[in-house]
Amino acid sequence: MPELIIDDIPAHVPEGTNVLEAARSIGITIPHFCWHPALGKAGACRACAVKMLEGPIKGIQMSCMLPAQDGMVVSTTDGEAVAMRRAVIEWLMINHPHDCPVCDEGGECQLQDYTIAGGHSIRRYNGLKRTHVNQYLGEQIEHEMNRCIQCYRCVHFYQEYAGGTDFGVMGRAGSVYFGRQQDGQLESPFSGNLADICPTGVFTDKTARFRARYWDYDMAPSICPGCSLGCNTVPMARYRELLKVTARRNDEVNGWFICDRGRFSNTAVNAPERPRQAQVDDEAVSMDIALDSLIERLTGFLELHGPEGLAIVGSPRMSQEAAIMAARLREVTGAGTLCYFGDVLHAERTLEAVSLLNTDNSTSQEDVRQADLIAIMECDLLTEAPMMALAVRQAWRNGARIFIVGSECRLDSGQQNLYEVGAAVSLAAVPFTEARRPLVICGIRHKGLEAIRDTAQLGVKTSFIMDGPNAFGCAMLALEQGAISFSEALAGGRVKGIISLEADLPPELSPEIRVLAAADWLSTHLTEKAEVVLPVTSWVEMDGTYVNNEGRTQHFKQVMKPGVPIKGLTPELHPPRIHRHDPPGGDILPTEKIISELLERLGAANE
């Protein structure tokens, strides 16, 4: 552990830490653009200059390029170092358009921050600025090349970290260009990260362009519901509209990045037509009236069919709180059936996978990034869990061997760019014993329980790719509560009516089965059929918990208040201008609160 002194403060850091990181570890921020914790050093921007006063190296040095060593005495405030950093900023700003007032990055721009922090305010250069023609990079990322400071972060991320081949750097000397060979949609499923890592406004999120400044956003730490991995995010909203989603660092889970599917999936949350108004027999009513009506119908139903005929049906997209309350509702009503999964195979495989995982063999994305041998079976990672494919790529970049097991494992062309693979006919053919940190990634969509059991019996770390952000949590509850899949319940022939709680069931539901109520924030065939429709909050409109595919419990916070978004000032887009205290469409509750209200009306203790 090297020991060094930075600005009179001693620092002890692990071997291999650079001086810039060592300074960060004791709370000293050295300006930087090209260095990024996940991408490493580039030595391109020269903004991180420090003065080495004592030790093996002396003089002005780039702190990101210099490994910390014993005996180093570093000054970040030395006049020469400060002058060097100031000169670099002035030089970077020579060609920068100074368009902060109209730049979408304004307020969250590293260049803006360090320019102001460094005191650069007078422009001495009177020549013409270098300019570029921007490219069309698709509907998600906006390109503004004139703002570029040639830090190379974008190309390091896109090509090296994410394996993209359609974007790179062109040109030479004082005129380099970061883009594609020609206009067109960026092909990488991780392209949205360009907006997060660009330290200026060259790449910005086009879907949220000119909608808000950083300080205008409602934001909170959250978890992506796009698959079972539970990547950490910060959704940003304004005027009840989810405008963009950014990655939130979690070294154990997603690291610094998220996939485009998680980033650009705001449409369903913002859809004005999503269920926002409680209904009874297609008539709009208040939430209170809808809940009273449901109790009345439920009482009648239970008298007619008995509790055996009732099924409480949820799904792995419910929060854990809602899933627990669904079990409580079953208990209080005496319902004959509790379901968290629609399909019997989905339920069986998820329950089996969950019962085979424990703290020793469960695998995080970080474990995957650190592995030296990975066997992938029964899954198409880019479709089912894109960030896991990115984690496998990092392992492969570090020298891990990757095996695709069996013929059922789909590998599309995008995935072929991410890592090279070897084929193995079966798990027995994978040389696990030759590796120090081997692991298996197994899908549960395509094949049966055998593959899942075989995987667990190997005694190596295992990651099961599940379906739904809270599949693990629902499976744990299903095991505890004796819940069965909806298809099994149907086959039993007892179900006469259901209460659907964010359930995903096949559309061919017999008309003989009454959908007494459907609580959901998405429009589904169940909300269309339901006698009582109970709109609920989406994950950005409430606090909650998901348990990810490794069994990690992660909380998410409310980002925005529910209600019809104010999308613009035109009558078509703006909600009705009626003087009221609550926002239109705001009379909705999280699923667990809806259940809690029902329990209260049923006279049950509500703990």
Q: Give least dist CB 91 to ligand FES, A.
A: 13
With helix as H, strand as E and coil as C, how does 154-209 read?
HHHHHHHHCCCCCCEEEEECCEEEEECCCCCCCCCCCCCHHHHHCCCCCEEEHHHC
Tokens of 1: 């552990």
Q: Does 48 bind ligand FES (CB under 6 A)?
A: yes
CA distances from 432 to 19, 188, 381, 459 (A): 38, 31, 21, 10
Q: Give least dist CB 353 to ligand FES, A.
A: 43
Q: Does 51 bind ligand FES (CB under 6 A)?
A: no
DSSP letter string, 260-314 = HHHHT--HHHH-TTSS-S-EETTEE--HHHHHHHHHHHHHHHHHHH-GGGEEEE-
Q: Give least dist CB 393 to ligand FES, A.
A: 24
The region of 39-47, 130-138, 202-210, 262-270 touching ligand FES under the rule CB under 6 A is: 39-47
Stretch 556-585 residues interacting with ligand FES (CB under 6 A) = none
Q: Does 335 bind ligand FES (CB under 6 A)?
A: no
The residue among 47 and 559 lying less far from ligand FES, judged by its C-beta, is 47
Q: Which of 83, 90, 82 minimizes the C-alpha distance to 7?
A: 82
Q: How far apart are the first and last CA of the chain?
A: 51
Q: Does 530 bind ligand FES (CB under 6 A)?
A: no
The region of 38-46, 303-311, 528-536, 583-591 touching ligand FES under the rule CB under 6 A is: 38-46
Residue 38: CB atoms within 10 A of its CB come to 16
The residue among 158 and 539 lying less far from ligand FES, judged by its C-beta, is 158
Q: Give least dist CB 370 to ligand FES, A.
A: 25
Q: Does 45 bind ligand FES (CB under 6 A)?
A: yes
C-alpha angle 581-582-585 in degrees, rounded to nearest 5: 150
Q: Give least dist CB 18 to ligand FES, A.
A: 9
Residues that contact ligand FES, how many (by CB under 6 A): 12
Stretch 52-81 residues interacting with ligand FES (CB under 6 A) = 62, 64
DSSP letter string, 121-139 = ------SPPP--------S
C-alpha span between 15 and 164 (Å, rounded): 31
Helix, strand or coil, per DSSP, at residue 142:
strand
Q: Give least dist CB 36 to ligand FES, A.
A: 9
Q: Give least dist CB 563 to ligand FES, A.
A: 43
The residue among 43 and 492 lying less far from ligand FES, judged by its C-beta, is 43
State the helix-helix crossing angle for 320-333 and 591-601, rounded to 10 degrees: 20
Q: Does 43 bind ligand FES (CB under 6 A)?
A: yes
Q: Does 148 bind ligand FES (CB under 6 A)?
A: no
Q: Does 391 bind ligand FES (CB under 6 A)?
A: no
The region of 46-54, 135-143, 436-444, 447-455 touching ligand FES under the rule CB under 6 A is: 46-54
With helix as H, strand as E and coil as C, how does 308-338 read?
HHEEEECCCCCCHHHHHHHHHHHHHHCCCEE
Q: Which of 418, 408, 350 minimizes the C-alpha distance to 386?
A: 418
Helix, strand or coil, per DSSP, at residue 542:
coil
The region of 28-36, 198-206, 351-359, 552-560 touching ligand FES under the rule CB under 6 A is: 28-36
CA-CA-CA-CA dihedral for 462, 466, 471, 476, to nearest 10: -30
**Contact pick of 21, 35, 141, 375 for ligand FES (by CB under 6 A):** 35
Site string for ligand FES, 337-356 (x = CB under 6 A): --------------------
Q: Give least dist CB 111 to ligand FES, A.
A: 12
Binding site for ligand FES (CB under 6 A): 32-35, 43-48, 62, 64
